[in-house]
Amino acid sequence: MNKQITLQELGQRDYKEIWEYQEALFQGIVDAKVRNRREDANLETPNYFLLVEHPHVYTLGKSGDVSNLLITETQLEEKGAKFYKVNRGGDITYHGPGQVVGYPILDLENFFTDIHKYLRFLEEMVILTLEEYDLKAERSPGETGVWLDVGTPFARKICAMGVRASRWVTMHGFALNVNADLGYFDHMIPCGIKGKAVTSLNVELGMQKVNENDVKEKLLKHFSKLFESTFILESASVES
């Protein structure tokens, strides 16, 4: 069981470019697992964790409803945003500057084979990180992600999540609003849930800008503890 995770910090990159890169890493792990099963190859399966920020983009999960995007293709272009239908779970979400986006591409057989536990661990990583900023973040029953003031009229989402898993290999992940422009959320029904607000860490702290590198360090620290794993930092060259 390989509990080492290759960490790649990719900076700001186009969503489709990184989606294709995820797919390549994902397929490499799946292929290794298939060889192990068919040929008794005993190959060690790698794990990856990509940290990235995307230009403005809306993505719709495979079970999502396109009507939850509230602007036209022309309006998307005017706002400098793109739109993609993707192969993760969940409905519609937004990515953009000021978000910390993480894509763990793991062979869960190196850790545990329970997709619900995996999602809860991702949520717990964010909850523990926000606790370090004196914010009480929570899960909302029946709604994946991380929220504040759950069960009140002021409930608001601060972190969206959506994953894909096949043969116990994961891709896609989470998007934590740190210094996000919340105006872009007005052009969709977040995760298809009407009447729920969205927030960002800088708004909650009353700050103009939160240090995103500090947030990343905290997220990785808690992820490592939860998954009993170690990170190896690696530079990456993503082919367009």
Give pLDDT tens digits for 154-175: 999 999 998 999 999 999 999 9
Residue 173 assigned to a binding site: yes
In a domain, 37, yes or no: yes
List all residues 6 or more positions away from 232 whose beta carbon is below 8 Å from its beta carbon. Answer: 4, 5, 6, 7
Annotated ligand binding at 161? The verdict is: yes
Averaged over 110-133, what is the pLDDT? 97
Q: What integer best gives the mean pLDDT of the chain?
A: 93
Residue 124 lies in a domain: yes
The domain of 223 spans 4-233
The CATH number of the domain where 85 resides is what?
Answer: 3.30.930.10
Q: Is residue 240 part of a domain?
A: no
CB 146 within 8 A of CB 159: yes
pLDDT of the residue at 90 = 76
Distance of CA 187 to the CA centre of its chain: 20
Instruction: Output the furthest CA–CA distance in the chain (Å, rounded).
Output: 57
Q: Give me the active site residues, please.
A: 191
CA distance 88 to 56: 18
pTM for the predicted model, two decimal places: 0.93
Question: Which residues is 69 bridged to in the sheet?
Answer: 188
Residue 103 lies in a domain: yes
43-71 pLDDT, tens digit per residue, is 999 999 999 999 999 998 887 888 889 99
Cβ atoms of 201 and 182 within 8 Å: the answer is no
Does the pLDDT of residue 88 top 90, yes or no? no
206 annotated as belonging to a binding site for a ligand: no
In a domain, 224, yes or no: yes
Predicted local distance difference test score (pLDDT) of residue 194: 62
Residue 127 lies in a domain: yes
Is 239 among the domain residues? no
Give pLDDT, residue 190. 66
124 near 226, Cβ under 8 Å?
A: yes
* Contact yes or no for 182/199 (Cβ under 8 A): yes
Answer yes or no: is 162 a known binding residue.
Answer: yes
Mean pLDDT along residues 33-47: 92
Across 18-30, average pLDDT: 97
**What does the pLDDT read at residue 240?**
42
At 129-138, the pLDDT tens digits run: 999 999 999 9
Tally of domains in the chain? 1
24 is in an annotated binding site: no
Averaged over 92-116, what is the pLDDT? Answer: 96
238 found inside a domain = no
Please check if 92 is assigned to a binding site.
yes
Contact yes or no for 158/131 (Cβ under 8 A)? no
**pLDDT greater than 90 at residue 20:** yes
